[in-house]
Amino acid sequence: MAAAALVAALAGGGIAYAARREQPPPAAMVTPSPATTAVRRADLSDNRQFSGTLGFGAARKVQGIGPGTITRLPAVGTKVVRGTRLYRVDDQPVVVLYGDTPPFRVIDRAGLRGSDVRQLRRNLSALGYRTWSVHQDTTDRSLLDALKAWQKKLGVPAPGALRPGQVVVLAGPGRVSGLDALPGAPAAGPVLQVTSTGQVVSVAMSAVDAGAVKRGARVTLTLPDARETAGTVTAISRTIAQGPDSGEPPKVTVTVTPARPRDVASFDTAPVRVRFTTAARRNVLTVPVGALVALREGGYAVQRPDGSLIAVETGVFAGGLVEVKGTGLAEGTTVVTAS
């Protein structure tokens, strides 16, 4: 019995020893190599997109003056230029002149002096009715004769006297964008609205965002049909608007003029996307954003594979890259980056 027990013990020990011998050795601890990248030169641009509205710009109301009844109005979309018979009052034409002085008195005799006289003289000359005077702002016989000839051609009864309700003064060419009255309404009051003839895109943005936009800057417009076309910033309003009880920041209107009007001619008004390039850098040193190391004392650094740090100044961030510059940093320098 003792011999059998010894044999069994030896056999069991042999099995245990064999089992221990067949186990693989513990794996060695391996430290993975950090992911690295090279500092490279590239062109970076920071782009921002805003919603805009394609249209004909802000409308200006045309105010009728004087007695009478509106008897005919133009269709929306009508082009308006100097000499256009814009609408009719008591079946007589109200004609467009260019200038900045609203009609305020009757011009019907020699010796009247003022900016309205100079304005009338310039308009009559542009319409082909020449006058001769050394005093452009004073009425004389040549001006009154030219006025009479023009009014005869228009079919104005009792020509030779220009009354305030017979003309509308605009800053330049325009387009009828809306009607504020109907035939039969009194002539004195809002009649219609006029916008510019060229289409523009109006973009409302915060004053902070508008501060990064410059007149003359090139932008990209994305139209409702997904086509892209170029545009130029032509105006930045100096008026900051904010609606009452609005929780949004005050807005500034940035006006963009399409570079190729034919690209937007199929739309009267439409929502568009406007892409601004707010910063651009050419041929600068760049690293992936993941290569930046935030320093405890503030600022950033990049890390070499040996663990040493190079303090850097950052510039434009774009497309996952960041502009960097620092002492000891050059194109081709190997730095650690997040994998």
Q: Tell me, what CATH number does 274's domain have?
A: 2.40.30.170
Helix ranges (DSSP H) in the chain: 2-22, 115-126, 141-154, 207-210
Contacts of 252 (CB under 8 A, 6+ apart): 204, 205, 206, 207, 210, 236, 237, 239, 240, 241
If one counts every other C-beta atom within 10 angstroms of the C-beta of residue 70, the result is 23
Q: How confident is the model at residue 94 (pLDDT cuts 50, 70, 90)?
A: very high
Same domain assignment for residues 217 and 258: yes
Q: How confident is the model at residue 45 (pLDDT cuts 50, 70, 90)?
A: confident
Same domain assignment for residues 85 and 182: yes
Instruction: Give me the pLDDT at residue 258, please.
Output: 97
Same domain assignment for residues 155 and 122: yes
Same domain assignment for residues 126 and 250: no
Same domain assignment for residues 144 and 236: no
Same domain assignment for residues 183 and 203: no
Q: What percent of the chain has pLDDT over 70?
A: 88
Token pair listed for 233 = 């910033």
Instruction: Give me the pLDDT at residue 10, please.
Output: 39
Same domain assignment for residues 266 and 243: yes
Same domain assignment for residues 204 and 300: no
Q: How confident is the model at residue 22 (pLDDT cuts 50, 70, 90)?
A: low
The domain total for the chain is 4
Same domain assignment for residues 180 and 85: yes
More confident position, 56 or 23: 56
CATH of the domain at 151: 1.10.101
Query: In whole numbers, what is the pLDDT of the chain averaged over residues?
Result: 89
Same domain assignment for residues 219 and 243: yes
Same domain assignment for residues 187 and 213: no
Instruction: Give me the pLDDT at residue 245, please.
Output: 60
Q: Rounding to the nearest 10 degrees, give the CA dihedral for residues 82, 83, 89, 90.
A: 170
Instruction: Give me the pLDDT at residue 318, please.
Output: 84
CATH of the domain at 319: 2.40.420.20
For the segment 159-174, the average pLDDT, to the nearest whole number, is 96
Instruction: Give me the pLDDT at residue 28, please.
Output: 53
Q: Tell me if 127 sits within 8 A of 150, measured CB to CB.
A: yes
Instruction: Give me the pLDDT at residue 46, please.
Output: 81
Domain hosting 185: range is: 59-93+172-195
